[in-house]
Amino acid sequence: MFHFHSELEMSDRRTANANRDVAMDSGVRVVIVDDEDPARRLLRALLAAWPRVTVVGEAADGETAVSLIRDERPDLVFLDVQMPRMTGFDVVSAISPESMPTVIFVTAYDQYALRAFEVSACDYLLKPFDEDRLALAMQRALERHDQRTQLTGPALRSLLAEVRQSPDAQIILKVDGRHVFLSPSEIDWIEASGKELRVHVGKNALVVRESMSSLEQRLEPHRFIRVHRSAIVNRSRIREMQPWFQGEYVLILRDGTRVTTGRSYRDAVQRLVREGAR
């Protein structure tokens, strides 16, 4: 199959190649964050073609990424969006948008995030990507590096808000090595089971290795409510509430599932009742 490229694309790629040589004059320290080892190895191999780009560290999870970025203070971070327990957005929040280095987001599927990245972020890489696409991303990153400018804190904070609050945003879950797209309206409730979560979708339960607090941050608070340290419920699935012991409740969902609330979440549950009575 023949591929035809516009003059603009060809010009961009010639500029990217030229910027690769410019990078030799000012070193760029890079951190790679991705929970998939093949993805990290591919990025490291492609970046080897950039003589003054130095990969100062890699992280396979968000917690390690936060420590690494704080310790190494890189110029540029390749940051995966979907990781268990702590997403790329959580990493940015932990570092703080104001202190975050220039970011190139890396994602496999999140179409809503991609739309926001195109507007606000330095760049994104959609997996799978090739050497030419990386060159274009590096061109933009080097321009920021050479000018000593970064994505400003307010702009990045706006990006996080747009991605998290988009009413149409899908939830992407890693299940047995695959990515499952869900509309929030499909989720009935979520329960913690040991170190895993069971996301109930109709008669199916998807097993996800992610913390309850991490997933909760990705859910819309007007749609979901946490009623127990081990349970989050889709508000629209609640059919009935029955008083339980010591001010707690039993929530009966539309499919008959019974979820007991926790003492620490009593105020949130009672507020749900008050809001429904208005």
Domains of the chain by start residue, with CATH:
7-165 (3.40.50.2300), 171-277 (2.40.50.1020)
Beta bridge partners of 128: none
User: Where do we find the tokens 């990006």?
Assistant: 159
Q: Position 192: which residue type?
A: A
Helix (H) or strand (E) holding 17: helix 7-22
Q: Can you list the residues of the chain whose pLDDT is less than 50?
A: 1-12, 15-16, 18-25, 112, 115-116, 118-120, 149, 151
pLDDT of residue 153: 57
pLDDT of residue 232: 96
pLDDT of residue 121: 62
pLDDT of residue 239: 93
Helix (H) or strand (E) holding 125: strand 123-126
Note whether 168 and 131 are within 8 A (CB): no
- The number of beta carbons lying within 10 Å of the beta carbon of residue 210 is 22
Q: What is the distance between the alpha carbons of residues 166 and 192, in angstroms, rounded to a whole number? A: 26
pTM of the prediction?
A: 0.51
Both ends of the chain: CA-CA distance in Å?
A: 62
Both tokens assigned to 122 = 């330095």
Note whether 214 and 82 are within 8 A (CB): no
